[in-house]
Amino acid sequence: MLSGLDQWFVRAVPEELRGRAMTGLMTVQGAGMAPAGPAAQAVGVRAAVTGAGALGTLCCCALALRARAERPVTESRDRADRHMTGR
């Protein structure tokens, strides 16, 4: 669920702190697996894996929509090239 945040996370953290920050992120990702065992016991392995896949897909879609919304609006490449070269 959190793996899509890695790219944003790395950009936001100063380079000298990335090792420590990534260790924390990986710990949180690993802790996210902790509910998998009880979920598989409660609803069965097939349903738990299907649910995790559906949840992961929803999270990726939400991240993609957010990334698309945050992308800066720029001129098309051709217009930008003309602007830079004066042609």
pLDDT per residue over 40-58, tens digit each?
A: 999 999 999 999 889 888 9
- In this prediction, residue 1 has a pLDDT band, given cuts at 50, 70 and 90, of very low
Distance of CA 20 to the CA centre of its chain: 19
Higher pLDDT among residues 29 and 73, named by residue: 29
Residue 34 and residue 1 in contact, taking contact as beta carbons nearer than 8 Å? no
Give the pLDDT of residue 3: 58
* Mean pLDDT, residues 56-73: 80
Look at the pTM and tell me if it is higher than 0.75: no
